[in-house]
Structure 1
C-alpha cells in the first residue's frame, strides 16, 4: 500500500529533482532516497504524503546543489529536456522561443542553490513559498526573493536584444568565416566576453573569451566538417556534420547587439543520437 502511494507521486518527484539538479541520474538517486526514508517512517506519521515527499526531495536536492557549490562543480551535466531542432525557415516566425532552451542552461546552472530550488518549485510546480522556505532553511519571504532573483536572470537571458533576422545574419557570418578560415571574421561576430560551454563525453567545460571558439571553428572546415544554420528551440543555432555525414555538434547561440555572447555546444554523440534532427535536414 505504501509503495503504491509512493509510485503515484514518483513521476512528479522525479520531474522536480531533474529540473532542480539538471541531471537524471542524480534525480533518480534523490527520489530513491526519498522512498527509503518513507519506508522507514512509522505508519500513520505522515498526514500529507505529497507535501512530505516534496519537502524531502527538495531538501535532498538542495543538499546536492550545496555540495556541488562547495566543490565548485557544474550544477548540471545533461540538458533536462531534448532541444527541438528544425529547419530555419525565415518565413516561419511562429517558432521563436518562449521556452527555456539550451542556451538558458548556462543561466540555470549559474543560479545559487536557494535560487534554483525556489524558482523550480514555485514557478514550475506551483509550490507555495510558505512550504519552500522551510526546505531551504529560510523564511517564506526569503524564498520569494530567491525565486524573484532567479526569475529575473532567466527571463533576462530569454529575451535577446537582437531581432531574429539580425541573429540569422550573425550566425550566417560566423558560418561563412568558418568555411573560409577567416579568423578575423570570426572574431568580428564573437563578443570579447563570450561564454562557450561544451558538453562532451568528458563532461562539461566552460570557456570565457572568443579566441578558443574562433580557432575551433576555423579548424572545422579544414577537417572536412560542414555546418548550416538551424533553429534550436526556436532560435538560430548551428548543426555540424562530420566527413562521413554523421551529426557531430549542435550549437545554441545567444546573440546580443550583433554579436554572439553565449554559445552552448553539444558534441556528445550519444546525446545527439537521442535528439530528433530529421526536421533539420
Structure 2
C-alpha cells in the first residue's frame, strides 16, 4: 500500500503480517473488500503507536483485526437490511439426485467454500472465537480480552460454534436429515403454513439474499417466515441441489435461464441460515447445471 515505505521497519514488520491478517479478517467477514478495509485500519492504528512498546506485534495486530472485525459484524447485525461487502462466497452447485453418503462427503470437502456460508449463521462472538482459535490457533485468553469475557465463557462460545459448524458440514451421516428439514421448509412455504415454517426455522435464522442492488440480510424466524415467498417459488419450480456441499434448491425460468439458487444451513434439525442468489448477473457468471 502506498502509505508504507520498504525502508520503514514498522512498515516492513506489518507487511510480513499482512497476508495472515487479511486471512483472519476474510474468515471473520466473508468479504474481500471488508477484509482489506480492516487490514488498512489496523495499519493506521499501528502507525499511531510507539512500536517499541509493542512486545508481540503479531499478537497485537491479531487483537486489533479481531476487534475491528467484531465491530463490523455487530454493525451488520444492528442493520440487517443493509447491503455490505463484495457479495457472497462462490457457489459450486450440483443437482441432488440422492447421491450416496460417500459422494456427499466428497462435496463437503470443499471446506473453503462451504465454511464461509456456515460461518454466516454464527453470532459475532461465536464466529470470532471459532475463527481465531480453531482456524488461527489464537489462545483463548487473548480472544477473551477481545470479547471482554472470561476465558471459560470464550471456550464455551468456541465450542458452541464448533458444534454448529460440524453439524452443518456432516452430510455423510446427517445429509438425509438435513434434506428432510429443507423439504419440510419448502413444503410449508408452498402451502403458506406459517406455524410449520417457525417449527423448522431456528429462532435466530439468518437469510442472506444476493440481489441486483446488493446483499440484503434479514434476521429472525418470524421475519424469514413472513418473507418465504422466494422459497415457495423455488419449491414450486426448482430442483433439489447441493450448494457447496449444503442442501439447496435451484430453479430456472421458462426459457431455461437460472432464476435462483438457495443454500440452507441446518443445525440440530433446524434451519439456521439461508443464502440465496437471485441477481441475474451473478447467476449468469456461475457454472450452473442446466434444467433436465
Output the TM-score relative to the length of structure 1: 0.71
The gaps in structure 2 that reach 5 residues or longer are: 1-5
Query: Where in structure 2 are the equivalents of 1:1-281 lying within 5 Å?
Result: 1=6, 2-69=10-77, 71-73=78-80, 81-93=89-101, 94-96=103-105, 97=108, 99=111, 100=114, 104-105=118-119, 107-108=121-122, 111=123, 113-158=124-169, 164-165=175-176, 183-184=190-191, 191-195=197-201, 197-201=207-211, 202=213, 203-206=216-219, 208=222, 210=225, 212-213=227-228, 215-216=229-230, 226-253=237-264, 263-273=274-284, 275-277=286-288
CA distance in 2, matches of 1:169, 1:216: 19
Change (3 A) 1:87 1:32: same
Secondary structure, aligned partner of 2:199? strand
Secondary structure, aligned partner of 1:193? helix
Q: Are the aligned partners of 2:80 and 2:218 in contact in 1 as well (CA < 8 Å)?
A: no
CA distance in 2, matches of 1:259, 1:60: 31
CA distance in 1, matches of 2:47, 2:38: 14
Change (3 A) 1:156 1:95: closer
Q: Are the aligned partners of 1:17 and 1:58 in contact in 2 as well (CA < 8 Å)?
A: yes
Alignment length, in residue pairs?
A: 267
Change (3 A) 1:67 1:243: same
Secondary structure, aligned partner of 2:207? strand
2:3 corresponds to? none
Output the TM-score relative to the length of structure 2: 0.69
CA distance in 1, matches of 2:268, 2:129: 31
The gaps in structure 1 that reach 5 residues or longer are: none
Secondary structure, aligned partner of 1:90? coil
Change (3 A) 1:58 1:236: closer
Q: Aligned-pair distance for 1:218?
A: 5.5
